[in-house]
Amino acid sequence: MDTQIADLSQLKQDALDKIIFHATPKAWLSKRGPWVLDRGEGALLYDADGREYLDALSGGVFAVLAGYGREEIARAMYEQAQRLPYTSPYGTTSAVTVELARKLAEVTPGDLEASFFCTSGSEAVEAAIKLARQYHEANGDGRRYKVISLRRAYHGSTVGALSATGWSPGFGVFRRSADPVVPAAGFANAMPPYCYHCELGLTYPGCDLACGTTIEQAILGCDPELVSCVILEPIMATAGCIVPPPGYLAKVREICDRYGVLLISDEVVCGFGRTGRWFGVDHFDVVPDIMVVAKGLTSGYAPMAAAIARRGIAEKLPVFFNVHTYGGHPVSAAAALANIGIIEREDLVENAASVGRYMIGLLLELRGHPIVGDVRGLGLFMAVELVRDAARRESFAPELGVDNQVAAVAREMGLFVRPFGGTVFLAPPLIFTKAQAERTVEVLDTALARVEAQASSTANLPTAAGAGR
C-alpha cells in the first residue's frame, strides 16, 4: 500500500487508465484526477494527498453506518476467514451465517424471518422479485408476474432492478436508453409521494393521499390477477430523501392486501438506523412481505445483502431457485454480525434520531438562501433541494450542475456531501456528533453563499452528472 502511495501521480494515472468508473466523465477525471482515498477514522476520511474530510455521506453512497476504523469488525472478518472463508449456496451454511439470519429475524419488524443472502442491493432486489413470483406460483397463482414501482425510485443496476427503477428526469445516470431492461409490460410505475413536487399539484392532507391511489390504479391498469408485487423505498433515497406523508404506507399496505399483491420494502438505504428507527417502515407501523437490505448491513466493510421474507412466504415455498456463489458468505456474515452488535451496543439508532433532529433544525436555517427550496429528512438522512425559483418551486436546468458546484466547494472546504438531481444529500455515519453536524451545516452555508455569488461563472466547476462526488 505504502509503495503505491509513494508514486501517487502514477497511481492516479493508472486509476484513470485501468479502472472504469460509474457516471464520472473521462474529461472531468483527466482534468481533476481520480480521488484516491487512503484511510478513515470515525467520521473522518483522509485522501492519498493527505487531506482530511468530514464524511457526511457514509462513504459516498450511504453505507458506512458504524464509521471507519472499527477493529472489532476487521477482527471478526479475519477470524472467520481463518476458520472458514467460504460455503456454497446449495444447502450448505456456517454457524455465523445462521447467527446473522437469527439476528435479522430479531431486529426486523413483525414476522419477517427468513433471509436469502446475496452480495449487493441490486441482487437482493432481484431476489425479492423472484421470491414474490415463486411464492405466487407455489400458491397456485403462477400468472402473477408484474411489478409495480414508483417513478423516481432507484432499485439497482442489474436488469430486473433497473427495470423497476422507473425512468425519471435526471435518472439517465442510472438508466440509459442503451441499457437492457425487461420489456415494459412486466413493470408499471405509480406516482411517488413527493409532496414538494406533487405531480397532481395537490397538498397534504387535502390530497387524500392521491399518490397512494395511483398504486391501485397501476394494479388495475395491469390486470390485478397478473400483478405480483409492489416495490418501494419507505423513504425514497436517490429521488431526494422523500419522506412520505402520514398514512401513505398504511394505504399502500391496504391496497396490496386487497389485491393479493406482495409489498416489498427496499431498505437498502433506510435500513439499520439510518432514519432514526431500525428500518424505514418502523416509522409507519407497516410490515412488508419482503424486506431488502444491503449497505448498512455490514457498514460497507464487506459486500452482503439480503431479501428477508415473512414466515408465511418462506413456509409456502417448497424450494427457491436463485443461486449466487457468494450468497451467505461467512466472512461477510461475520462483518454484519459485528456491525449490528456495534449499532446495538452503542445505541446508534438513537444517536441517529437525536443528532438527526438537531442537524435538521440547523439545516432548516439554510432556507434563507435564495437557491434553497426544500430541506427535508428523517434521522441522519437529509436533503437540501436547490431551486432556481423558490416561490414557484422551479428546478435549475440540470446542465448547470448547481448541486455539483455546491458539493465541489464543500469538498474544497473538507466536507464530503453528494449532489444528485438538483439536490445535496447528507447521510453521515450514525456515530456523527452534534459538533460534526454543526460543522457540516456551517460549511454548506458557506458553499451555498459562494455558489450564489458566482452563479454566472461556473467554468471551473464540474457540471456533468457524477462529477463532484
Q: How far apart are CA 195 and CA 355, in angstroms?
A: 25
Closest to ligand PLP by CB, 387 vs 420, is 420
State the minimum distance, in angstroms, from the CB of residue 140 to ligand PLP: 31
Of the candidates 346, 279, 378, the one whose C-alpha atom is nearest the C-alpha of residue 66 is 346
> DSSP labels for 117-158?
EESSHHHHHHHHHHHHHHHHHHTT-TT--EEEEEBT----SS
Among 122, 265, 275, 332, binds ligand PLP (CB under 6 A): 122
State the minimum distance, in angstroms, from the CB of residue 163 to ligand PLP: 13
Give the interface segment with ligand PLP, choosing from 119-127, 276-284, 323-331, 437-445 (CB under 6 A).
119-127
Site for ligand PLP in 151-170 (CB under 6 A): 154-156
Rule CB under 6 A: is residue 244 a binding residue for ligand PLP?
no
Whether the CB-CB separation of 416 and 52 falls below 8 Å is answered with no
Give the interface segment with ligand PLP, choosing from 34-42, 251-259, 264-272, 345-353 (CB under 6 A).
264-272
Rule CB under 6 A: is residue 54 a binding residue for ligand PLP?
no
Site for ligand PLP in 125-144 (CB under 6 A): 125
Closest to ligand PLP by CB, 443 vs 465, is 465
Q: Which helix (H) or strand (E) holds 39?
A: strand 37-41
Cell of 120: 449487493
Closest to ligand PLP by CB, 22 vs 392, is 22
Give the interface segment with ligand PLP, choosing from 117-125, 168-176, 179-187, 418-426 (CB under 6 A).
117-125
Burial 347-384 (b: 16+ CB within 10 A, else e): ebbebbbebbebbbebbeebeebebbbbbbbbbbbbbb
Cell of 16: 484513470
State the minimum distance, in angstroms, from the CB of residue 56 to ligand PLP: 17
Which residues make Cβ contacts (< 8 Å) with residue 287, sequence separation at least 6? 109, 110, 111, 112, 253, 281, 310
Closest to ligand PLP by CB, 256 vs 294, is 294
Rule CB under 6 A: is residue 378 a binding residue for ligand PLP?
no
CA 70 remoteness from chain centre: 22
Which residue in the shown chain puts its C-beta closest to ligand PLP? 121
Of the candidates 89, 108, 161, the one whose C-alpha atom is nearest the C-alpha of residue 291 is 108
Binding mask 305-324 for ligand PLP (x = CB under 6 A): --------------------
Q: How far apart are CA 104 and CA 306, in angstroms?
A: 9
Among 115, 120, 275, 423, binds ligand PLP (CB under 6 A): 120
Rule CB under 6 A: is residue 420 a binding residue for ligand PLP?
no
Site for ligand PLP in 269-308 (CB under 6 A): 269, 294
Q: Which residue(s) pair with 426 in the sheet?
A: 382
State the minimum distance, in angstroms, from the CB of residue 158 to ligand PLP: 7
State the minimum distance, in angstroms, from the CB of residue 61 to ligand PLP: 5
Sign for the CA dihedral angle at 370, 444, 296, 379 comes to: negative
State the minimum distance, in angstroms, from the CB of residue 164 to ligand PLP: 9
Radius of gyration of the chain (CA): 22
Q: Which residue(s) pair with 46 in the sheet?
A: 39, 52
State the minimum distance, in angstroms, from the CB of residue 221 to ligand PLP: 24
Among 113, 126, 266, 282, binds ligand PLP (CB under 6 A): 266
Which residues make Cβ contacts (< 8 Å) with residue 221, sequence separation at least 6? 188
Total residues contacting ligand PLP by CB under 6 A comes to: 15
Site for ligand PLP in 203-222 (CB under 6 A): none
Closest to ligand PLP by CB, 237 vs 443, is 237
Closest to ligand PLP by CB, 238 vs 440, is 238
Helix and strand element counts for the chain (H, E): 14, 16
Q: How far apart are CA 256 and CA 263, in angstroms?
A: 6
Give the interface segment with ligand PLP, choosing from 75-83, 114-122, 375-383, 460-468 (CB under 6 A).
114-122
Burial 213-241 (b: 16+ CB within 10 A, else e): bbbbebbeebeeeebbbbbbbbbbbbbbb
Give the interface segment with ligand PLP, choosing from 24-32, 37-45, 230-238, 402-410 (CB under 6 A).
230-238
Q: Which residue(s) pair with 117 in the sheet?
A: 306
Site for ligand PLP in 62-101 (CB under 6 A): none
Closest to ligand PLP by CB, 54 vs 270, is 270
Whether the CB-CB separation of 320 and 309 falls below 8 Å is answered with no
Cell of 173: 445516470
Give the interface segment with ligand PLP, choosing from 33-41, 137-145, 232-240, 253-261 (CB under 6 A).
232-240
Q: Which residues of this chain interact with ligand PLP, rule CB under 6 A?
A: 61, 120-122, 125, 154-156, 233, 237-238, 266, 268-269, 294
